[in-house]
Amino acid sequence: MIKKDSVKKFVSWNVNGIRAVAKKNLSKIINDLDAHIFAVQETKSQRAQLTDDIAKISGYYSYWFDSVKKGYSGVGVYCKEKPKEIIYGIENKNFDNEGRTITLEYDDYFFVNCYFPNAQHELTRLEYKLEFNKEFHKFIDKLAKQKMTVICGDFNVAHKPIDLANPEKNRKNPGFTEQECNWFDEFIKSGYIDTFRKFNQEPGNYTWWSYKFNAREKNIGWRIDYFFVDSKNADKVISAEILKDIYGSDHCPVSVKIKL
């Protein structure tokens, strides 16, 4: 029997504390968006701290990868279809202790959910982040050699000047340093597609806004949340969106639809 193509919707959201956003209709948002996989980053919780209304949303399996340090980092996924395998981390304890990457394997594709380190004030973690970037890239390349690979998450970097409201003021700030942007260039050139920019080349499209100075209302933001697909499968991506009207975090969700 020939398998027919199906369109799957994926959503990614840095929730900046899943227990806090659960009080702001997280389960309703997940149900309303009706994604095949709904990925979350910066959960700031251990699995044992999650109540059933967070961990057991009807119609979804859920999987979690926590930081050893409590109240910090962490990623999770809600998925309608049980994966063949789950990969926790990127096979490097120096980074995996912070609970930054969880990967689901299905017959036709890998789905990778990631939360990149922040370079931090005065760039105190820039070297750590760049090392993570390098190891993450190696990990992704291994997957992409096997089958279609979908990558989502908070990369904690605005790639180009178009991706933040005030590029000149932020040239040497965390998330827009030359080193971080150069790595992003290398990642894309090595064979990965920024799905949003495949369809939209307009400025003013952001996914994160500071809580200060009414930044979100004024749309003074950064685009630091992404969906990537390996370039061999770029033609399977049929849409990519920023869901800016969904509140509950200082980030908004992003989504893609992919023909599988």
pLDDT at 232: 98
Helix or strand holding residue 27 (H, E): helix 26-33
**The pair of three-digit structure tokens given for residue 241, joined into one six-digit string:** 């969106």
Nearest to 47 by CA among 23, 74, 21, 8: 74
Q: What is the pLDDT of residues 18-38, one digit of tens each?
A: 999 999 999 999 999 999 999
pLDDT at 4: 54
- pLDDT tier, 1 (very low <50, low <70, confident <90, very high otherwise): very low
Q: What is the pLDDT of residues 37-56, one digit of tens each?
A: 999 999 999 999 999 999 99
pLDDT at 2: 41
| Residue of 154, 194, 225, 230 with catalytic role | 154
Contact 37, 104 (CB under 8 A): yes
Q: What is the pLDDT of residues 180-222, one digit of tens each?
A: 999 999 999 999 999 999 999 999 999 999 999 999 999 999 9
Write down the pTM of the prediction: 0.97
User: What are the backbone dihedrals phi and psi of residue 18, each rounded to the nearest 5 degrees, phi first?
Assistant: -70, -30
The answer to whether 154 is a known catalytic residue is yes
Q: What percent of the chain clears pLDDT 70, i.e. is strictly above it?
A: 98
Mean pLDDT calculated for residue range 213-240:
98
The CATH class of 7-259 is alpha beta
- Computed over every residue of the chain, the mean pLDDT equals 96
Q: If you search the block for the tokens 């063949």, which residue do you land on? A: 84
